[in-house]
Amino acid sequence: MSSEIYVVTVTYGKRAHLLTRVLDAAKGQGAVEAIVIDNGSTDPVRDILAERYGDWAFVHSMGGNKGTALAFKTGIQTALARGAEFLLLLDDDNILQSGCIDKLCKVFALRSPEFGLQGLMLSAWREGRQGWLQPGTMRWREYRSSFISFRIQNLPAKLMSLLHTNQPDPNLAGVEITAPFAVYGGLFFNRGLIDFIGLPREEFFLYGDDTEFSYRFSRAGGKIILTSDARIKDIAFSWNEENQSWAGPITWVLAKPSSPIFYQFRNAVYFAYHVNERNILTLFINTIIYMSIIIITCIITRRWRSLRVLCVAFRNGVAGRLGASPRFPL
């Protein structure tokens, strides 16, 4: 099956030194081709990859940073047009660990007879990125009616997470967890899945498009399996790695107010109010608690610009206003 797998990744800025490490691992594990979307790189990505990989890496330039949603949508379309049977989506800082592709193929071959080629999506295990698991368990935390991962009913479990780790033993093998959604990094599926649910929604612009894309799939009856055998390691730090933790509201305030903050917060609010399953009263209570923490933290720390950005993002998310905002260019 590895001879049918196309890797799709998006890069931007000055990240060629990360991208080449990602592609080295993918090529070494037998991917037939890499589709690289140049989303506003300042490095000469096309020249670097041509010299290093020849025609194994196909580069499509977006002509600037057009957001991750359109970039991954374009990458998937390009891979399908070039004959991909299976797609493995990666961020440009996701390094496949030993045997990752073979392990994904093995799990897919075992489970696809039950769900069909278009009804199964796998998510590789990204070390340190299991914030949605209940502390001390291998079960998905309840997410319905949550507001940006906060749900008052989950509060005891979140407090317990201060005392217990929710990360598995690094030697844990053979664990499969049914997930309601997933992120792009490590997402593996057959081309028929796109016929089933369609492409990522480009109006998300930046952040959250992968959550909506995968959640749309599971809501339509598809099966998402997070497998601990197929592993990925992130080699670059992301500002929001702790954003799913108990300190999430404070993290938003303390982060430097910027366009990425606006889009991620707006899209998370949109997901809560327009996509996720919800009881409106429970969602309202969760929203009030979460936003109160943000407002109080902004007042205490005198971070007025953060408050303005987050409030604008909140209003846009609730109102369903997506797309690129002229007030927050990339």
pLDDT > 70: percent of the chain:
87
2-130+167-234: what fold?
Spore Coat Polysaccharide Biosynthesis Protein SpsA; Chain A (3.90.550)
- Does the pLDDT value for residue 245 go beyond 50? no
> d(Cα 24, Cα 151) in Å, to the nearest integer?
41
Return the pLDDT at 153: 77
pLDDT tens readout for residues 276-303: 999 999 999 999 999 999 999 999 999 9
Strands 120-126 and 187-190: antiparallel
Q: Is 122 exposed, middle or buried (0-12, 13-18, 19+ CB in 10 A)?
A: buried
Return the pLDDT at 240: 55
Amino acid, single-letter form, for residue 201: R
* Per-domain residue ranges of the chain: 2-130+167-234, 248-319
pLDDT tens readout for residues 7-49: 999 999 999 999 999 999 999 999 999 999 999 999 999 999 9
Task: Tell me what the mean pLDDT of segment 50-67 comes to.
Answer: 97
Q: Which secondary structure element, helix H or strand E, spans residue 125, and what is its range?
A: strand 120-126
CA-closest candidate to residue 21, choices 123, 96, 104, 127: 96
pLDDT tens readout for residues 120-145: 999 999 876 666 665 555 677 778 89
